[in-house]
Amino acid sequence: MTRTISKGRLWTARVMSGIAILFMLFDGVMKLVKPAVVVESTVSLGFQEHHIVLLGILGLISTILYAMPRTTIMGAVLLTGYFGGVMATQIRMDAPLFANILFPVYLAILVWGGLWLRNEQVRKLFSWQK
């Protein structure tokens, strides 16, 4: 049984997911283009320059899978792993908690929150009830 969701809930979900998608598309494309600021900041985090394109591709694939309705859950899982790597890197660099370390958590909240609002299966999986 599929229930319809309210327009407000649907648009809130779309905005939440859209923000995460747009940010990750921008991030991935910038890693493919490799402007100097991206190269400098990525190398300063301990990565080699030749890793940047691979990171961009992995982020873009995960984001595209999340943006497509049939693969959205797989994309959310992959993005969660990607965000975990970002957090681990920031912790290793002793970055500020709220500015750097928790930023991927905020993105994950947008990804999973948007999915939870629009997908009944995800709501059942992450239900507050028994």
Contact of 24 with 59, CB cutoff 8 Å: yes
pLDDT at res. 20: 98
Angle between helices 103-118 and 7-33 (to 10 degrees): 140
Our CA angle for 37, 39, 45, nearest 5°, is 105
Which candidate, 60, 63, 83, places its Cα nearest to that of 75? Answer: 63
Residue 4 backbone dihedrals phi, psi, to 5 degrees: -85, 150
Q: Counting runs of H as helices and runs of E as strands, what totals does the chain give? A: 6, 0
129 pLDDT more than 90: no
Residue 126's pLDDT band (cuts 50, 70, 90): confident
Average of per-residue pLDDT across 35-58: 97
